[in-house]
A and B are shown apart, each in its own frame.
Chain A
């Protein structure tokens, strides 16, 4: 960190990245900003509306409801995936052929297109032809995720846990393998039990990768669209209509550009704010 030299020409190295990302980020973002303050009745005729749409979005029950569902969903999956991922990483073999086998199989869900994940879970969880749905019903529990909100939530959460826990496992495992053996030997000499080893050696060493894991899982679960859309279509009713699903409904379904754009910006700002908090914490930690 300290060894960096000041060189303004470094900007030239970054320029291609800036141009490409700006093309994709700034132009569409300005389009959204543009829509968010105007009203249109078609034919490319626009009227200035000021902050009307923002007020409407911030006061709308519909937005509050989907934001609430989104926050609940993200909290649930973080609370399950992070501890579960750490626990699995702790039990993984340290060396040998099994490491590769574990890594290859565990990474598989990460590389399946998201709509295939949704379709796969649809087939897997359907109460009549799905293995999961059929098994749960065979246990005597009435389960049908297409008509029961609770079952829909259960299936969506389970699908996300299935899909993304491996990311936490891989990150935590990488953190664990970076701990030198000497640490464990020292702990053994001091007579530390498994809990003490975890609390004072493994957990601090995993802190950085875990922050990254939580940050990535927060961002991606907050933006989740395709998987629940294919699985439940946001239903039954609005039970699993998360922010992105609601947004696409408003923007492309009803073509209400102004409200959709205002909602987009509020949505983006929320993700940005939380991620910025995480990022600052992470950088502060690294600087120490």
Chain B
């Protein structure tokens, strides 16, 4: 029995990798081969799809746009969430519990509900079609999440740490930057990971708030899929490339993920 259960995770991973493998497989095939024959691996490997993406500005600027709003969002969300999470974990104040739940409700708002009003709001403040608009819009669900995670981490740190620092003559800002932030570094890492994740994968708002200049890569894909018919190879190559930043980020936070889930509360 133990021998069998050992293979369950391996089997699960193999099943998880199958659609991804199929996407990568398609990305190295020519359109003719995709539509004409059925094969488990490319018979004649072509890099044309990738070359097209790296040389055509329509494609590669999409990557820069996506990465720039994701980074911006990550920085904004975590930096405003830090003091707020500290307040929630250390102090009791008027309406704190209600405020916390109100923040969480924004994580529950279906983006489809907000798509149209968001478009009008960001057009009104003339931020439409900029990475800032998408970064700010994604704060709707990422700030509550970051506050939630960081509050979990901070509550795990005894209050004596704060008190000792004050006794030692630290002022609050110095204590916060020099002692507190390094202590919860793992929590900040986990919070940033989740902000990256939800901003990177979201498309409905990102697509609604951009048209040409700040169009995310994922939107470029949908438009190609509909305009030029059946360029599956190109689509598969672009899809494969969107997996890479995520895989890269997971690799760096791999040791914190499990810990982060346990301490924090995602």
Structural contact, A14 and B121, CB atoms closer than 8 A: no
Question: Which chain B residues (102-120) contact chain A, with CB distance < 8 Å?
Answer: 103-118, 120
Question: Which chain B residues (1-51) contact chain A, with CB distance < 8 Å?
Answer: 5-6, 8-9, 12-13, 15-20, 22-23, 26, 34-35, 38, 40
Query: In the complex, which residues of chain B have a beta carbon less than 8 angstroms from the beta carbon of A114?
Result: 201-203, 218
Query: In the complex, which residues of chain B have a beta carbon less than 8 angstroms from the beta carbon of A16?
Result: 80, 83-84
Out of B26, B40, B92, B254, name the residue touching A100 (CB < 8 Å).
Answer: B254
Question: Which chain A residues (102-125) contact chain B, with CB distance < 8 Å?
Answer: 102-116, 119-121, 123-124
Structural contact, A251 and B116, CB atoms closer than 8 A: yes
Structural contact, B20 and A120, CB atoms closer than 8 A: yes
Interface size on A, residues (CB 8 A): 96
Taking A119-B235, A212-B265, A276-B101 as contacts, is the C-beta distance between A4 and B90 under 8 angstroms?
Answer: yes
Q: How far is the CA of A14 from the CA of B86 in the complex (A)?
A: 9
CB of B112 to closest CB in A, whole Å: 4
Out of B16, B136, B147, name the residue touching A162 (CB < 8 Å).
Answer: B16
Question: Which chain A residues (53-104) contact chain B, with CB distance < 8 Å?
Answer: 87-88, 90-93, 98-100, 102-104
Stretch at the interface among A146-154, A195-203, A223-231: A223-231
CB of A174 to closest CB in B, whole Å: 3
Question: Which chain A residues (259-275) contact chain B, with CB distance < 8 Å?
Answer: 260, 264-265, 267-268, 271-272, 275
Q: From B222, which residue of chain A is reached at the shortest CB distance?
A: A115
Structural contact, A225 and B204, CB atoms closer than 8 A: yes
Structural contact, B108 and A112, CB atoms closer than 8 A: no
B185 within 8 A of A: no
Question: Which chain B residues (55-90) contact chain A, with CB distance < 8 Å?
Answer: 76, 80-81, 83-84, 86-88, 90
Q: From B27, which residue of chain A is reached at the shortest CB distance?
A: A123
Structural contact, A248 and B203, CB atoms closer than 8 A: no
Structural contact, A134 and B38, CB atoms closer than 8 A: yes
Q: How far is the CA of A271 from the CA of B110 in the complex (A)?
A: 9
Structural contact, B266 and A216, CB atoms closer than 8 A: yes
Taking A24-B139, A104-B250, A174-B258 as contacts, is the C-beta distance between A113 and B200 under 8 angstroms?
Answer: yes
Q: From A16, which residue of chain B is reached at the shortest CB distance?
A: B80
Structural contact, A87 and B8, CB atoms closer than 8 A: yes
B137 within 8 A of A: yes
Q: From B99, which residue of chain A is reached at the shortest CB distance?
A: A14
Taking A7-B91, A13-B83, A119-B221 as contacts, is the C-beta distance between A175 and B262 under 8 angstroms?
Answer: yes
Taking A20-B143, A212-B266, A251-B116 as contacts, is the C-beta distance between A5 and B91 under 8 angstroms?
Answer: yes
Out of A14, A112, A162, A177, name the residue touching B246 (CB < 8 Å).
Answer: A112
Q: How far is the CA of A109 from the CA of B19 in the complex (A)?
A: 10
B225 within 8 A of A: yes
Structural contact, A91 and B139, CB atoms closer than 8 A: no
A252 within 8 A of B: yes
Query: In the complex, which residues of chain A have a beta carbon less than 8 angstroms from the beta carbon of B222?
Result: 115, 230
Q: How far is the CA of A43 from the CA of B259 in the complex (A)?
A: 55
Query: In the complex, which residues of chain A have a beta carbon less than 8 angstroms from the beta carbon of B91?
Result: 4-7, 10
What string of 1s and 0s marks CB contacts (under 8 Å) between A130-166 and chain B? Answer: 1110100000000000000000000000000010001
Structural contact, A31 and B117, CB atoms closer than 8 A: yes
- Extra inter-chain contacts (16) besides given A107-B257, A124-B18, A225-B204, CB under 8 Å: A10-B93, A11-B87, A14-B84, A27-B117, A91-B5, A103-B254, A104-B251, A111-B197, A115-B203, A129-B34, A171-B266, A174-B260, A177-B262, A219-B108, A226-B203, A251-B112
Contact sample, A vs B, 27 pairs, CB 8 Å cutoff: A3-B159, A4-B90, A5-B91, A17-B103, A24-B139, A27-B121, A31-B116, A99-B258, A102-B9, A103-B250, A103-B254, A103-B258, A106-B9, A107-B257, A109-B20, A111-B245, A112-B239, A114-B201, A128-B38, A129-B34, A175-B262, A212-B265, A243-B110, A244-B110, A257-B116, A264-B110, A271-B110
Please give the residue numbers on chain B whose beta carbons come within 8 Å of chain A beta carbons, in ascending order: 5-6, 8-9, 12-13, 15-20, 22-23, 26, 34-35, 38, 40, 76, 80-81, 83-84, 86-88, 90-94, 96, 99, 101, 103-118, 120-121, 136-137, 139-140, 143-144, 147, 159, 197, 200-204, 217-218, 221-222, 225, 232, 235-236, 239, 242-243, 245-247, 249-251, 254-255, 257-262, 265-266
Give 10 closest A-B pairs by Cβ, nearest first: A111-B246, A174-B261, A28-B117, A13-B87, A31-B117, A10-B91, A244-B112, A10-B87, A174-B262, A264-B113
